[in-house]
Chain A
Amino acid sequence: MKRMSLSLLAAMGLFAAQAVFAAPIELGASVQKTGSFANTGRYYADGYQFAVDKINEKGGVKIGDKQEKLHLTILDNQSDVNLSVRQYVQLLTQNKVNFLLGPFASNFALADSAISEKYQIPMIQGGGASDQIFNRGFKYVFGTLPPASAYFQTTVDAMMKLDPAPKTVALLYADDSFDVSVAEGAHKILAKTPLKIVIEQKYSSETSDFNSLLALIKSKNVDAILVAGHETEILNFIRQAKALDISPKFYSFTVGVSTADFRKALGSDADYAFGMTSWLPSSSLKDDYFGDGMQFAEEYRKRFGYEPDYHSASAVADVLAFVKAIEKAGSLDPKAVRNAIVNLDFNSLYGQIHFNAQGQLELPQTVIQIQNGKVVPIYNAKGFIGKPQYPMPAWKQR
């Protein structure tokens, strides 16, 4: 009898505990924590976790008059697209998560967003910028990176205002979804300018040796090189350009330049490289949870030991967008939250969050350049905001 009353008491206690601490809001993502994409994938795992912890620390998400905590499930897709698709199905069917956060890289987001669409669960992803993700008429995928086709817009604008402006361009790009979108966009942007494309070459994402392409570039004496590729390829490209003594007046890369890891690996050889970023830490970017962009960057660096770049900030923005949308919808109903996401318009550490008709943020890219090992903002939609080091000196004169 005594035992029975005890267990009854325990059961009641459990019940009471459940009533006080309601089930948290489940967010799920499949991210590249290992494998060849782990280098950038970890920024998403870290960014998501950082945002969830911060929001819980500030009390959680307000639904009606209740405060709910967030709970994050991150699975490791080992840089395998097929596995990531299976894991998104698992997140929805077994882990029963409420909403989905995205993986890194466009070809992953392209495949994974088919799952969110099929199950009609919103996915906000900060790792896929390819236009292909957003021109399929999907209703449940949203992206916080600016459209890939516009990546080189501000760079080309800036190039036209340099003195003397480059005349010939080589456009090189990897053969994945994101880089192909970037190159198609860049081709159209360049076609509207007097710049002449003398080399336009696609390369396989596995390429590590650029010597043949570099020899071709040298033989044509190209003024400017635009490369859309992955960080590892760009590291190899710059090293090999130096070894073959090839220094155009200007070169710009879609990724790498903004990340601390890239600058650390190359050291002074990274100098003069131009790049682009949709985000720079700034105190003018006010945020309800993190104070502002600068404070966010500082806190992030302290926790993870490296400086955040736009990947991390974009990941944090994904979580913030869900929080705002859930609060606005006042429920966890996927359709209601999806409709709230469509109408979002708020300021965050990442910038203004307001999705366009396709579901993508249209943040303009800021042109950046590495000068003496530091990232210097050079040009944005308003014009020059820093002094470019141009033309790039020959390798032997550095």
Chain B
Amino acid sequence: MRKALLENLNIRCRHGNSGKYKMILLWQVLVNGVLLGGIYAAMALGLVLAWGVLHIVNVAHGALIMLGAYVSYYLFTFIGLDPFAGMPLSMIVMFGFGYLLQLYLLNFMIKAPMFNTLLLTFGLAVIFANLAQFAFSADFRIINPVYAGDNFVWLGATIPLVRILAFGVAMTLTLFLWAFLTYARYGRAIRATAQNLVAARLYGINPRKIYAMTFGIVGAFAAASGVLYGVVWQINPYIGSNLTAKSFAIAIIGGLQNPLYVIVGGLFLGIIESLSSLYLGPTYSDLVFFGILVLILIVRPTGLLGKTA
């Protein structure tokens, strides 16, 4: 590791042009990291919501993102609906999917130990991936609107248009979720149910419906991040597990208390990945990130910003 690091630095010193170019490179990579982190945050939102409110460690979260991406892909490819314009529609479809999934399946497990729901969602993840291959084939798909490759230069860094759009959408969604949970009647009902089930019932809340609606929101957010994923990367039935792992790590860093902390977790992951890819090589980026994660858990077992489950 140390040797590889020194070698890498050596290569860069020998071939590096000048200090100025190195600064531009660092700036570009930081910008990349921030934009990447925004999308990561959007992915993790749904997982954090399911974990924090429903106490479901949703291993199928990545699979939901994958399904959302396919919805958007088919809307774009066959109806010609722009992925960003069609995002509300994909979100509605996946809201319905999540709602029904919770109402008719997950609700039966809601009081079971967390390990049981974890196993159940793991099974769902496998089923979703295989059904997706059956229905959509193993072909690689991309959502490719005409502006997908457009970019502009800002302070010397090239900014891909879709990434800044994706970043904007991710931030908007996060703020929306925060505002919804804090101020909206339904949002407060969701939090109340999570905090004290008996009291919430006494106030006339129907927990079954609240749980279903919460998981519907999880589905809708997964759909939104699926759209962003399909516009930036490629979709296939098996992208899910990797996305779940990333979302999981973000949830641990940011904690489950506040959606705004998820942004911090996402940006943290994005920036660490980008910088370690550049300075240590892309083989080490996972090592560095998960190494830091382990350190955080040792030093602050409650997560970087607050309480984890």
Residues on A lying within 8 angstroms of B by beta carbon are: 34-36, 38-39, 42, 79, 175, 198-204, 206-213, 215-216, 218-220, 231-232, 235-236, 239-240, 242-245, 261-262, 264-267, 269, 395
A288 to B142, CA, bound (A): 40
Does the CB pair B242–A211 fall under 8 Å?
A: no
17 inter-chain pairs at a CB distance below 8 angstroms, sorted by A residue, are: A34-B133, A38-B133, A39-B139, A175-B283, A203-B281, A207-B282, A212-B32, A212-B273, A236-B233, A236-B234, A243-B160, A243-B161, A261-B139, A261-B140, A265-B139, A265-B234, A266-B144
Cβ of B94 to closest chain A Cβ, rounded Å: 22
Of B22-30, B183-191, B208-216, B249-257, the one contacting chain A is B22-30
Given contacts A39-B139, A236-B234, contact A215 B286 (CB under 8 A): no
Does the CB pair B21–A219 fall under 8 Å?
A: yes
Identity of the chain A residue whose Cβ is nearest the Cβ of B238 in the assembled complex: A36
B244 CB-CB contact with A under 8 Å = no
A202 to B149, CA, bound (A): 25
Given contacts A39-B140, A243-B148, contact A208 B277 (CB under 8 A): no
Cβ of A139 to closest chain B Cβ, rounded Å: 34
Cβ of A151 to closest chain B Cβ, rounded Å: 21
Does the CB pair A213–B277 fall under 8 Å?
A: yes
B107 CB-CB contact with A under 8 Å = no
Contacts of A269 in B (CB 8 A): 144, 149
Question: Contact flags (1/0) for B271-287 with A, using CB distance below 8 Å?
Answer: 00111011001110110
B105 CB-CB contact with A under 8 Å = no
Contacts of B22 in A (CB 8 A): 219
B138 CB-CB contact with A under 8 Å = yes
Contacts of B275 in A (CB 8 A): 212
Q: Which of A212, A220, A239, A395 has the most CB of B within 10 A?
A: A212
Contacts of A243 in B (CB 8 A): 148-151, 160-163, 232
A343 to B302, CA, bound (A): 66
Q: Which 10 A-B pairs have CB atoms at the shortest separation, nearest pair first?
A: A243-B160, A203-B282, A242-B149, A212-B277, A211-B32, A38-B138, A36-B238, A212-B278, A39-B138, A215-B28
Does the CB pair B36–A209 fall under 8 Å?
A: yes
Cβ of B283 to closest chain A Cβ, rounded Å: 5
User: Which single member of B17, B32, B129, B286 contacts A219 (CB below 8 Å)?
Assistant: B17
A264 to B142, CA, bound (A): 10
Cβ of B48 to closest chain A Cβ, rounded Å: 22
A269 to B144, CA, bound (A): 10
Question: Contact flags (1/0) for B224-245 with A, using CB distance below 8 Å?
Answer: 0000000011101110001000
Does the CB pair A232–B140 fall under 8 Å?
A: yes
A261 to B141, CA, bound (A): 9
Does the CB pair B151–A202 fall under 8 Å?
A: no
Does the CB pair B162–A208 fall under 8 Å?
A: no
Cβ of B9 to closest chain A Cβ, rounded Å: 13
Given contacts A39-B236, A198-B15, A206-B286, contact A265 B149 (CB under 8 A): no
A206 to B277, CA, bound (A): 13
A236 to B32, CA, bound (A): 15
Does the CB pair A265–B141 fall under 8 Å?
A: yes
Given contacts A39-B140, A206-B286, A243-B162, contact A216 B25 (CB under 8 A): yes
Identity of the chain B residue whose Cβ is nearest the Cβ of A196 in the assembled complex: B15
Does the CB pair B29–A215 fall under 8 Å?
A: yes
Cβ of B220 to closest chain A Cβ, rounded Å: 24
Identity of the chain A residue whose Cβ is nearest the Cβ of B35 in the assembled complex: A211
New A-B contacts (4) at CB < 8 Å, excluding given A207-B285, A244-B151: A36-B236, A42-B138, A219-B21, A395-B149
Q: Which of B15, B142, B282 has the most CB of A within 10 A?
A: B282
A215 to B33, CA, bound (A): 12
B130 CB-CB contact with A under 8 Å = yes
A204 to B288, CA, bound (A): 13
Does the CB pair B140–A239 fall under 8 Å?
A: no
Identity of the chain B residue whose Cβ is nearest the Cβ of A42 in the assembled complex: B138
A220 to B141, CA, bound (A): 31
User: Which single member of A211, A216, A235 contacts B140 (CB below 8 Å)?
Assistant: A235
Contacts of A208 in B (CB 8 A): 233, 242
Question: Contact flags (1/0) for B30-45 with A, using CB distance below 8 Å?
Answer: 0010001000000000
Contacts of A262 in B (CB 8 A): 140
Contacts of A219 in B (CB 8 A): 17, 21-22, 24-25, 28
Does the CB pair A239–B286 fall under 8 Å?
A: no
Question: Contact flags (1/0) for B146-164 with A, using CB distance below 8 Å?
Answer: 0011110000001011110
